Amino acid sequence: MQIEETSLPGVKILTPRRFGDHRGFFSESYNRETFAAAGIHHVFVQDNHSLSAEAGTIRGLHFQAPPRAQDKLVRCGRGALFDVAVDIRMDSPTYGRWVGVELSFENGRQLLVPAGFAHGFCTLEPDTEIIYKCTDTYAPEAEGAVLWNDPEIGIEWPLGDRAPVLSEKDARAAPLSELESPFNVAD
């Protein structure tokens, strides 16, 4: 497994090895011992799988507040997406900054998004599948969101000439300036 640090502390790009032959490939996307040896000690308790039918679908920027905060390990099962993490830890020197990486079936990359970061993605191809592990189960009473196109954050979404496909909830999320973040670096 190759592990790359990003410009945001704790957000990592992981690329599992693929072993291929004439039949296809095999890849171990998660192994607790391998992760622990690399200093990643998250205990995942829920797997999620979503399909976005249209390219240009944006989901996010989402988070769950403590005590139900979630670390996420995100990968692409089919298609391609631009995956984003935004630091929303109030006392962080990188508060409000973002990092984005392309995850695709082809490149096999994964993004580790720790609690304290809002998460979102934009699909780059039709019928893109997103698969991610979480360290806590879904808790609607703890969910929160930041506006996907907040100019204060300035995410460079790869939409081209497309209009984004959004849920009503994501379209009306509050900007970062209105967020009373429940996260700090020490959490």
Q: Hey, how many other C-beta atoms are within 10 angstroms of the C-beta on 113?
A: 27
CA-closest candidate to residue 94, choices 85, 103, 81: 85
Plot region of 70 (φ>0 → left; ψ -120 to 50 → alpha; else → beta) = beta
132 counts as catalytic: yes
Q: Indicate which residue of 41, 95, 132, 138 is catalytic.
A: 132
Out of 30, 41, 62, 119, pick the active-site residue.
Answer: 62
62 is catalytic: yes
- Per DSSP, which regions of the chain are E strands? 2-5, 12-15, 18-21, 24-27, 46-52, 58-64, 72-78, 80-87, 98-104, 110-113, 117-123, 128-134, 143-145
Q: How far apart are CA 49 and CA 166, in angstroms?
A: 18
Q: Which residues are catalytic?
A: 62, 132
